[in-house]
Structure 1
Amino acid sequence: MVLLGSTLVLGILWSNSASAAEINRRSPQAQSYMRRGACPDYKDYATVRHPPYTTGTYQLPFQRPAQECRLFTSDAVEDVISTMTANMVDPDMARLFENCFPNTLDTTVRWHVDSDKQEERQSFIVTGDINAQWLRDSTNQLSQYMVLVGKDAKLKALIEGAINTQADFILQSPYCNAFQPPKASGLAPTSNGQADTVHPTYDPDVVFECKYELDSLASFLSLGNQYHAATQSTTHITARWILALKNVLNLISEQRTSTFAADGSIQNQVYTFTRTTTRGTETLNLDGIGNPLAANTSLVRSAFRPSDDAAIMQYFIPGNAFMAVELQRTAAALTAASQSDLAAEVLALGKEIEAGVWKYGVVQHPVFGKVFAYEVDGYGSNIIMDDANLPSLLALPLLGFVDVDNEVYKNTRKMILSPQGNPYYLVGSKFSGIGGPHIGITHAWPISLLVQAMTSSDDAEIKSLLNASVNVQRTEDYTRSWFAWANSVFAQTILDIAKRKPDLIFKKTEKKA
């Protein structure tokens, strides 16, 4: 079974259907360029190879848009690209980094408002070929730029705007995962084309899709926590942000409600979701509630996975681990912002969820020993698998939940990187990796290979994974031509290896940027 679920090389374009508001925000030169229709639709542009090509084995194309068509530019980002690519041994890998590292800025910043007042900054970051902002995706798309916020004030303002925009989304519809352009942007909302019945109800001019995913809310916290770690600033903790945080805390309380009360009566569930569909992964059973969950586990239910697939058992372990970590990090930021009472509440909640993961999320596997389950129900049942999308079991060290040398994690890693242990570890004649039910059992996603590389200290394993990621021409069966999240993870992987294993990618005379 083969192969690629997202194209790391591709993904660059402006839209020739840009609105007047979008065009007017560009420089006079860019406005002229765009009005002439010289900036093609990115979805089309990304499917075609563009010169100049590399001199490497795969003759990879240059896939960035023309300078006038780039949606956001950063001198600090361009400096990193120049330094990294000049020192890399493999010209194909250098070209991939050159294409992928700026991809979020080049192609997905559909709206950004800067201001002298930080709380007034806004940024709408689309995921790529879908004109909507996912909380999870946008956080991952911006992560690789955090180390540069001290060098580029424009980049810092962009991230501050993204924090504010995410907070606004959570204030409006905390159960939803993907959002329309803010009305102030002048960009038109689009329909996802689905027939959904969701409670709580939402405004379709605000929300693109309302699948409740615990990791989306953890991603909102993570964006602020990454900003705090990079800047040591707490200025993102505004009154509006705190209200959004309280929405998250309230939702967590609601989503710790078990299916049945102690007397056996059915408890009311705040969130329900049904969709008219022929795919079981796109809707929840039991009239939109999902399978029963036990009480008093300290875990938080997640109706959907980060793949946007319905959970089978809604105590989703990677999502709970992610939330536990980010709550505790948020508590530290709140303490620094002199919000001690709220910090204590958030810290206690994070520790409770962490304890629940260790108590209910660790199970005994007949072959691999003690491992983390992917999902549990609190009654003793569990789902053994992993999915390529983040957060995942494979990524638990990257989330900060465990160290790579933790015995339970090491057992889990062996299990999920084996077709005997993980039903979604897909093996082909030329490419193997973790996929997931979202795209079926014939496509592994490069994101899983990149996470595998970032959680490995073995040189041979890392080199093999990098080679698989670079060789994107092994098949023409791509599911997407433009996916900024995947591009960002590739860039993050190269930056990680540049720090941990520079000899694997850099020329011997100049090992790192």
Structure 2
Amino acid sequence: MVSYSLNSSIALFGLFCTFVLLVFIDNEFGHDIKATSDPARQDSLLKRNTNQDGSPQSSCPGYTDYAKVKHEPVSSGPYKYPYQRPSDSCRTFKSPAVETVIGAFKERLRDDDLARLFENTFPNTLDTTIRWHTKESKAGGPRSFIVTGDINAEWIRDSRYQLYNYQKLAPYDEDLKTLILGAINQHVDYVTAFPYCNAFQPPEEAGTTPGSNDQEVSITPNVDFKKVWECKYEIDTLASFLGMASDYYENTQDLRFANDAWIKAAKVVLQTFKDQQHGSMSSNGSTEAPKYLFKSLSWTSTGTQALNGNGNPVSSDTGLIRSAFRPSDDTTTYQLFIPGNAQAVVEMKRVSQWLGKVHEEDLAREFKELASQVEDAIWKHGTFEHPQFGKVFAYEVDGYGGRNIMDDANVPSLLALPDIGFVDVKDETYQRTRKMVWSRQGNPYFIAGKYFTGIGSPHIDLEHPWPLSQIVRLRTSDNDDEIKEALRALMDSTNGLGLMHESISANEQNDDSYTRPWFAWVNTEFSRALIDLAGRKPQLIFRDGYGYIFFNPIVKEHIIEPAPKPVEDDRQKKN
């Protein structure tokens, strides 16, 4: 076991180097990244109502349909990717800082097709998913409602990751900073009222009509479906609530969000985690009164929980936190979901490091103690000796000896353990686990087909691996050949549309060979992978002579220094 600061070498390094970007601003692009878009224009753009399909009530087309069609101009490389950004007037949020980053990457990337993919994916969240934003809500402070894409609802997990790439830019763009603050504040409202729910309706103030997911469900505690889209208790939802706050603080050193309301929500998260450490049976053998039940009329076994909504039994003696659902929104088989517990450990440690700055030392201590307890439990109960691969992590356990040996493409996953900061990528248990889940012998959801290979999910089927798995594979590899292989697979996966999708057919190529044309989370994760490579492996993607930028977030003014271009050595001169 290692501390968060050591465990998160990849996560922090990606964050540390992240925007290979900002050096270009004064030297190459000739404008100030601190410039903001016109406030009146931004408010007008964001406050207008939208249609149910996500399009503004104007001449703008719905992006679900827009993303299915190729638009000019195409990239000059062999893939000829279309330009899939909406027209300027149809974009739901604008950031000069983001445009600067796009320009910087297009300048440096040696592959024009890859440059087009970055151009399409990096701004996708801002271009298409900011359904509502105000700088001053009725409750006080900014609020932002950010949909996942083709579903008119906000997932706390998705929206955290959708905004992740922009956190580093927040100090340079006040409007962007306010947008992120608004998302944090909106999460506070959701988590405080409905800590067991994962996806939410637009707030009443947004003036948009709530939708329905058409599920017939019975849930304890009671839920108001005018405010909640879906109420599937997923441990990573609450971990993402904590994580988004830390993402913001670590990049801005701004603690304005950590007010009484946020602290109240954080205490709700802590108590929910503690409540969900209880097993199915008490120490005297009687059944524990459940805090959460979920029953649904479902066509699939992963759409409802067993035992009248309780889920399969788990032991009370592990110290692990239960999760009724996975990040795929499918039910857990065994509720002690190891990747979710790992993410909870990481995010509890992160908030414990800064809560003292807002005079919440006791809360910081409680988070730190719980994180330590759960971390110990993961290593004790969440690892086992596999007959082929050796000591590895299990995907789920029940504390009675039951284990689910698999991985799902959705993050958090076993493949993503270093990416979320739980272990170092070189950790031997992780490396054995990585080999296991990226193989047919070790993972029933590993799919290798004619056109695409990756990890899938019971959320779809055994024919459609998810590009997200190749993205995570890339970010957790130090092997140049493996990285290039993953990058090529991802470039092959867009169905010619220049965007990432939820899943792709392994063996067919036609207009229907993918799911979800508009899935902002995976677009964000792809562009994050390129940002990661810009810091770790610039030689793999940038034109000759370009290095990466050393970014020093400790200096108050965020001093940015360009990395010197490499000097030719004797071998280069001879060649």
With the length of structure 2 as denominator, give the TM-score of the two structures. 0.83
2:34 aligned partner: none
Q: State whether structure 2 residue 447 is matched by structure 1 residue 434.
A: no
Please report how far the alpha carbon of residue 295 of structure 1 lies from its aligned counterpart in structure 2 after TM superposition: 1.1
The residue that corresponds to 2:29 in the other structure is none
Call closer, same or farther: CA 1:27–1:489 in 2, change over 3 Å: closer
Cα distance, 1:37 vs structure 2: 4.1
Q: 1:35 to 1:148 in 2, by over 3 A?
A: closer
Q: Distance in 2 between matches of 1:116 and 1:132?
A: 19
Residue equivalent to 2:155: 134
Give, in angstroms, the shift of residue 23 of structure 1: 11
The AA in structure 2 aligned to 1:496 is D
1:106 to 127, 130, 141: 127
Give the 3 Å change call, closer, same or farther, for CA 393–36 of structure 1 in structure 2. Answer: closer
For structure 2, list consecutive stretches of 5 or more residues without a partner in the other structure.
1-40, 496-507, 550-575
Residue type of the alignment partner of 1:298: G
Greater RCO, 1 or 2 (C-alpha within 8 Å, sep 6+): 1
Q: What is the CA–CA distance in structure 2 between the aligned matches of 1:456 and 1:123, rounded to whole Å? A: 35
Task: Render the CA deviation track for 1:320-362: whole Å, top value 9, x for unaligned.
Answer: 0000110111111202222111111111111111111111001
- Count of paired positions: 490
2:46·2:133 contact (CA, 8 Å) conserved in 1? no
In the TM superposition, residue 117 of structure 1 has moved relative to its aligned partner by 12
Q: Given that residues 56 and 90 in structure 2 are in contact (C-alpha distance below 8 angstroms), is that contact kept between their aligned partners in structure 1?
A: no
Q: Among residues 286, 309, 318, which one is paired with 1:297 in the alignment?
A: 318
* AA in 2 matched with 1:497: L
Amino acid at match of 1:475: Q
Is residue 2:535 matched to residue 1:499?
Answer: yes
Structure 1 residues 198 and 84: CA distance shift in structure 2, 3 A: same
2:244 equivalent to 1:208: no
Verify the 8 A CA contact 2:409 2:469 in the aligned structure 1: yes
Tell me the SS of whatever aligns to 1:99.
Answer: helix
Residues 78 and 24 from structure 1, CA distance in 2 versus in 1: closer, same or farther, beyond 3 angstroms? closer
Q: Give the conservation status (yes or no) of the 8 Å contact 2:45–2:93.
A: no
Corresponding residue number in structure 2 for 1:198:
219
3-state DSSP class of the match of 2:163? Answer: helix
- Is residue 2:423 matched to residue 1:399? no
Amino acid at match of 2:515: T
Matched residue, 1:475: 509
Question: 1 CA distance for matches of 2:244 and 2:454?
Answer: 28
Of 143, 153, 171 in structure 1, the residue corresponding to residue 192 of structure 2 is 171
Distance 1:244 1:70 in 2: 32
Residue from 312, 331, 337 that aligns with 1:310: 331
Amino acid paired to 2:509? T
After TM superposition, the runs of 4+ consecutive aligned structure 1 residues lying more than 6 A away are 27-31
CA contact (8 A) 1:417 1:433 kept: yes
| Structure 2 counterpart SS, 1:398 | coil
1:357-368 paired onto structure 2 within 5 Å: 357-368=378-389
**Structure 2 CA distance, aligned partners of 1:332 and 1:248?**
17
User: Which of 45, 48, 58 is equivalent to 1:26?
Assistant: 45
CA distance in 1, matches of 2:47, 2:261: 35
Stretch deviating more after TM superposition (58-67 or 110-119) = 110-119
Match of 1:121 among 142, 148, 163: 142
Change (3 A) 1:333 1:70: same
SS for the counterpart of 2:277 is: coil
Contact in 2 for aligned 1:181/1:189 (Cα 8 Å):
yes
**Does the Cα contact within 8 Å between 2:47 and 2:133 map onto a contact in 1?**
no
Task: Return the TM-score normalized by structure 1.
Answer: 0.93
Q: Which runs of 5+ in 1 are unaligned?
A: 1-21
Where does 1:346-361 land on structure 2 (aligned, <5 Å)? 346-361=367-382
**Cα distance between partner residues in 1 of 2:137 and 2:275:** 38
Deviation by residue 1:458-497 (Cα, 9 ceiling, x = unmatched): 0010011111111223723011110000000001000000
CA distance in 2, matches of 1:337, 1:128: 35
Counterpart of 1:364 in 2: which secondary structure?
strand
**More off after superposition, 34-43 vs 89-98:** 34-43
Counterparts of 1:28 and 1:236, CA distance in 2: 22
Q: Report what 2:565 is aligned to.
A: none
Q: Which whole-Å CA distance do the structure 2 matches of 1:117 and 1:273 have between them?
A: 33
Q: CA deviation at 1:115?
A: 3.8
Q: CA deviation at 1:266?
A: 1.0
User: Which digits, 9 at most, give the CA deviation of each residue in 1:89-120, with x for residues without a partner?
Assistant: 11111101000000000000001111499961
Give the stretch that moved more between structures: 178-187 or 260-269.
Answer: 260-269
Partners of 2:308 and 2:46 in 1: CA distance: 52
Deviation, structure 1 residue 512: 4.0
For 1:322, the equivalent position in structure 2 comes to 343
> 1:385-407 CA deviation, whole Å, 9 max, x = no partner?
11000111111111111000111
Counterpart CA distance in 2 for 1:362 and 1:295 is: 18
1:425 has 2:446 as partner: yes
For residue 187 of structure 1, report the CA deviation from its aligned partner: 1.1
Q: 1:233: how far off?
A: 2.5
C-alpha contact (below 8 Å) 2:538/2:546 kept by paired residues: no
- Which residue in 1 is equivalent to 2:203? 182
2:229 and 2:117 map into 1 onto residues whose CA distance is 31
Aligned: 1:340 with 2:376 = no
Secondary structure of the residue aligned to 1:490 is helix
Question: Which residue is 1:280 aligned to?
Answer: 301
Distance verdict in 2 for CA 1:118–1:462, change over 3 Å: farther
| Aligned partners of 1:273 and 1:283 also within 8 Å | yes
- SS of the equivalent of 1:426 reads strand
> Residue 380 of structure 1: CA displacement?
1.2
Secondary structure, counterpart of 1:220 in structure 2: helix
Contact 2:49 2:208 in 1 (8 A): no
